Homo-oligomer: A and B are copies of this chain.
Amino acid sequence: AEIVVLPGDGIGPEVTAAAVSVLESVGRRYGHTFAFTHRLIGGAAIDAEGAPLSDATLDACRKADAILLGAVGGPKWSDGKIRPEQGLLKLRKALGLYANLRPVKTHPVALTASPIKSHLLTGVDMIVVRELTGGVYFGEKTRTDTTASDLCEYSVAEIERVVRRACQLARGRRKYVVSVDKANVLETSRLWRQVASRVAAEEFPDVRLEHQLVDSMAMHLIARPREYDVIVTENMFGDILTDEASMLAGSMGLLPSASLGEGTSGLYEPIHGSAPDIAGRGIANPCGTILSAAMLLRHSLGLEQEARCVEKAVAQAIDDGCLTADLAPQGAALDTLAMAKAVL
């Protein structure tokens, strides 16, 4: 299988290197050949190629069986006219990766590391399906000396496909989907709610669908996290709610994501950012990226057994007390390489 690796900025190169070493080990053990092509994205690509996502890189991504990404962005590029994030947004859009799957499961380490009370955390197992190629991220933007605007748009077709994906996922789980919107204020949310209700009723009579307002959801997510199974929502709400939900796991550094479109290819990245404050020090938590590689094995390569093997190895390493600085008590932390070795 052909895998494009986009390390990106900040801690991106460190965590993707760790995940690649895990994929290589899976290849050796199970007899698969993975061919890795490294390309630039984000700030690194702006510096070297003048654009955050070159045509050649986009082309390589289109042809690949899957893409593994680290993170993009950093203070160095935040005031420029061209921003690293544009590369990532362009990639998501160009490949039609409309469904961003963000599973949140609590490993026992969360009981100590999470700001949420332990008794609420045991058994948390949810997956947020965030719409990734629409909404206010991609609407027309305007700017004058005295005003700015961003347009939030959704079409019926955009809502249908992502809700469908969420309901399909729910079928393999607890058959319970919560759709999040702000239908008491937004027109896009009223359309979202209508379409979600219709898709669920017509195509998934076996799945229970409920609606929540995004403000309430921001409470319930941490007050009763165990109740949720699949959560589906639009791009911006998904961005906010998944970062919030990451606190259930104890550290963002643990959480993977998969961005999928119509084919089997996909983009896999940890949900954390480029963490410029710790970049280059080799201390970042590689688990989110390693678990993203596991999702890659599952969703793009159809290697379910291999995916589980990686997930088990990560859980086991953490069980054994192998923890990076984001999770370990002062002084007892492993660095990125040591953590990757523990998983290997």
Interface centre among A120, A141, A219 (most CB of B within 10 A): A219
B151 touches A147 (CB 8 A): no
Q: Contacting chain B: which of A21-29, A62-70, A164-172, A185-193?
A: A185-193
Instruction: State whether the Cβ of A136 lies closer than 8 Å to any Cβ in chain B.
Output: yes
- Complex Cα distance A214/B152, Å? 17
This chain: copies in complex:
2
- Complex Cα distance A295/B218, Å? 25
Q: Contacting chain B: which of A234-242, A258-266, A329-337?
A: A234-242
- Complex Cα distance A244/B117, Å? 15
Chain B positions within 8 Å of A89 at CB level: 185
- By the criterion of a CB under 8 Å from any partner CB, how many residues of chain A are at the interface? 57
Render A249-273 as a binary contact track against B, CB cut-off 8 A, 1 for contact: 0001000000000000000000001
Cross-interface CB contact of A136 among B152, B215, B223, cutoff 8 Å: B152
B149 touches A152 (CB 8 A): yes
Contacts A184-B85, A222-B222; A150 near B152 (Cβ below 8 A)? yes
Q: How far is the CB of A77 from chain B (nearest CB, A)?
A: 10
Cross-interface CB contact of A156 among B147, B154, B156, cutoff 8 Å: B147
- Complex Cα distance A243/B151, Å? 24
Q: How far is the CB of A55 from chain B (nearest CB, A)?
A: 22
**Other CB < 8 Å A-B pairs besides A115-B222, A218-B240, A222-B247, 20 of them?**
A114-B117, A116-B117, A116-B222, A136-B185, A141-B187, A146-B156, A147-B155, A147-B191, A148-B154, A148-B188, A148-B190, A148-B191, A149-B153, A149-B154, A182-B236, A214-B239, A215-B242, A219-B246, A222-B244, A244-B244
Q: Would you give 14 A-B contacts (Cβ < 8 Å), ordered by A?
A: A115-B223, A136-B152, A137-B185, A143-B190, A147-B155, A148-B153, A148-B154, A150-B151, A150-B152, A182-B239, A214-B239, A215-B240, A216-B243, A216-B273
